[in-house]
Amino acid sequence: MENFALIAMVENLRPAMMDFVVRRVIQHHPNGFIFQTRSARMPALKIVVEPQNPALYPSEARTPVETSGIDFQMVLRKHLTSAELVSIFKPLSERIVEFVFKTAVPTKELETMSLVVELLPNAPNIILLDAERRVLSSFLPITPQHGIREYETYSYPKAGDKLDLQRVMDTDALDLDDLRAQSNPQSWLISRIAGLGPVFAGEIVHRQRKSNHPMTEEIRSLVQQVRGSSRAGWLYTDLPLGHILEQNDLKRLNKAILSPIELESLERTHSSRVFPNIIEAAKFHFDELERRTLLEHSKTPILRDFRDAGKRLAGREKRLLREQKKYENAEGLQKTAQMLTSSGMKMDQHYESVTVTDYFREEPAPVDVPLDSTITLRENIDKMFRRYQKAGRGKEIVAQQMAQTRNRRALLEEQARRLHAIKDWDTWLAIASKLPQARNLNPSFGHPPPEEEGAHPKRFRLIKIENREVLIGRSGRDNDELTFSVAEPEDLWFHVAEYSGSHVVVRNPGKEKELDESVLVKAAQLAAYFSQARNSSKVEVHYTKRKHVTKPRRAKAGLVRLLEFKSIKVEPKNWLQES
């Protein structure tokens, strides 16, 4: 928020803060506080001192993230609870807002206190002053630019040799008319006037070139505009705001420009969205930015775990490729051993090498085969055959491990993609309980990879029935995990009637309304077999779509409620053994 936007914000907050009384101070964010009030016109004021984007605006929006309070929060609560706002002051050239409160504390030195909110880029802070304007406490250490130490009288950060904006408003600054002689008028103006940022400096230069008015006049005109009552607020972005929100592009959202006036200099380069006033524009922008940023911070640890696990799997795949190449090279040993066997050389002799005729080529040709001279030719041949047989077994094992590794990588990438796509807290909180399992690459988070041995946790039995994947739970907790985390809404769900038993899920990726009769019967037989009714001649089994299965509140593990279902009587049978 540039200084001119902050000027407009403070001017438009004044009328709503006339009956501002602090009810409670909440630290809703590691770098942010909400001052809840007793005022109907302004229920809450939010102060965020994020280094990259500090802000002050009326809002009580909070994300579900819990933030542990710090000592400074307790200081604010101690001194400002029930405090009544006396005045609000903003120096024209500074991104600083000062609130003066009449407190409920009987001590004379603390009867009046000031809360200084410094919204300086890269060095924001909140400072509490006593009646003598001495520093009592601060959220962050006070920077050296203030020229003061703790408990000394507060002073604003030094602005150097720049012209004070208030002086430009009160007197003519003739040296500003040299603007045309500057190669970069915008930068020159920023270096000359305190409280002028790049966006509004660019706007002043743009308007001055069009009007040809003196520079001082243009600056005064713009300040008067932003000080007026806000009838609209603009949010400028380099791409359409809807696209930025859809892509969850926090970098571009963070760079959005808040303005109380229409900026002619950005008409051709930026998109804009208009709000009823500057307060509504700020509330939308900063609340949206805060919500999305904290959500990304919450997702970062699990995404980092996914990335690290992906690197480990990639390393494993490289090692398996090296082993695979080694085994492929060993496949030629059988042919070499056969050629040595038919070479006519004495089997009990020791040779450093033997020349044989290679009949496996298109045209026979002599080949010199190096040998281990410490052992006989027969022992060399036996060694080659053993290495060849070992390579055959190893190649098969490596191929299986390679397939499993690639499937796990694909699963991991899909899980990471789904996490990246989450843009709202409701979705995030709905899967939060699964995140520790996801860090351990538990395929129950998301869709398990099909047809991979060991892809499902051991607590789920896995079987194929007529190319249908069937999952069978083991314990009560496993049944809950299978039904409410692994199964999709359209999957078919089975359970024996009136007995305890395993939940059985038949995958239904095609979202078919009914299963084939043979699959239906076999799945029901499995549900009957893996239950307490295993030894019965015939058992009734309930089945339904997974979306019709619910979990009663505080129900024990494995206990569910069916909203609708059908029944079938079958003989218990273990198709796991049959397959």
Question: Residue 156: pLDDT above 90?
Answer: no
Question: Residue 466: pLDDT above 50?
Answer: yes
β 549-550/135-138 pair status? unpaired
pLDDT of residue 579: 47
Question: Residue 102: pLDDT above 90?
Answer: yes
For the stretch 454-463, pLDDT in tens is 444 456 888 8
Between CA 504 and CA 568 the distance in angstroms is: 14
> Confidence class of residue 441 from pLDDT cuts 50, 70 and 90?
very low
Fill in the amino acid letter for 73.
Q
For the stretch 331-348, pLDDT in tens is 677 778 888 888 888 899
pLDDT of residue 178: 66
Between CA 542 and CA 566 the distance in angstroms is: 6
Between CA 76 and CA 114 the distance in angstroms is: 11
β 539-545/566-570 pair status? antiparallel
pLDDT of residue 443: 39
Listed by start position, the domains of the chain span 3-146, 165-293, 304-431, 456-578
- Paired residues of 469 in beta bridges: 464
Percent above pLDDT 90 for the chain: 39
pLDDT of residue 175: 65
Between CA 497 and CA 528 the distance in angstroms is: 9
pLDDT of residue 513: 86
pLDDT of residue 510: 86
Of 174-183, 287-296, 423-432, which gets the smallest average pLDDT?
Answer: 174-183
Mean pLDDT of 397-424: 85
pLDDT of residue 282: 95
> Confidence class of residue 383 from pLDDT cuts 50, 70 and 90?
confident
Which two tokens mark 384? 């080659």
Q: What DSSP assignment string belongs to 118-172?
A: E--TT--EEEEE-TT-BEEEESSPPPGGG---TTSBP-PPP-TTPBPHHHHHHS-
Local structure of residue 54 (DSSP, 8 states)? -
Top-tier CATH class for 3-146: mainly beta
Phi, psi of 423 (to 5 degrees): -125, 0
Which of 471, 533, 547 is CA-nearest to residue 500?
Answer: 533
Of 88-97, 117-126, 354-363, which gets the smallest average pLDDT?
Answer: 354-363
> Confidence class of residue 100 from pLDDT cuts 50, 70 and 90?
very high
Which of 125, 188, 110, 193 is CA-nearest to residue 156?
Answer: 125
pLDDT of residue 439: 43
**Burial of 353 per CB tally in 10 Å (0-12, 13-18, 19+):** exposed
Three-state DSSP class for residue 520: helix
Residues present in the chain in total:
579
Mean pLDDT of 18-24: 91
- pTM for the complete prediction? 0.65
Determine contact, residues 116/154, Cβ cutoff 8 Å: yes
Determine contact, residues 10/88, Cβ cutoff 8 Å: yes
Question: Residue 66: pLDDT above 80?
Answer: no
Determine contact, residues 47/33, Cβ cutoff 8 Å: yes
pLDDT of residue 449: 42
HSE-up of residue 510 (Cα within 13 Å, Cβ side): 8
Query: Which contacts (CB < 8 Å, 24+ apart) does range 171-178 have?
Result: 172/214, 172/216, 173/215, 173/216, 176/214, 176/215, 176/216, 176/219, 177/214, 177/215, 177/216
pLDDT of residue 576: 80
The better pLDDT of the pair 278, 356 is held by 278
pLDDT of residue 447: 40
Question: Residue 109: pLDDT above 80?
Answer: no
| CA angle in degrees (0–180, nearest 5) for 123-124-129 | 120
- H runs (alpha helix) in 342-445: 377-421, 425-431, 435-439
pLDDT of residue 552: 82
pLDDT of residue 428: 78
Mean pLDDT of 55-76: 86
Query: Options 1.10.287, 1.10.12, 1.10.3470, 1.20.1440; which CATH number does 304-431 get?
Result: 1.10.287
Taking CA atoms, 82 is separated from 27, 107, 415, in Å, by: 17, 15, 49
Question: Residue 392: pLDDT above 90?
Answer: no
Three-state DSSP class for residue 492: strand
Determine contact, residues 419/303, Cβ cutoff 8 Å: yes
pLDDT of residue 417: 85
Question: Residue 436: pLDDT above 50?
Answer: no
HSE-up of residue 281 (Cα within 13 Å, Cβ side): 29
Question: Residue 446: pLDDT above 70?
Answer: no
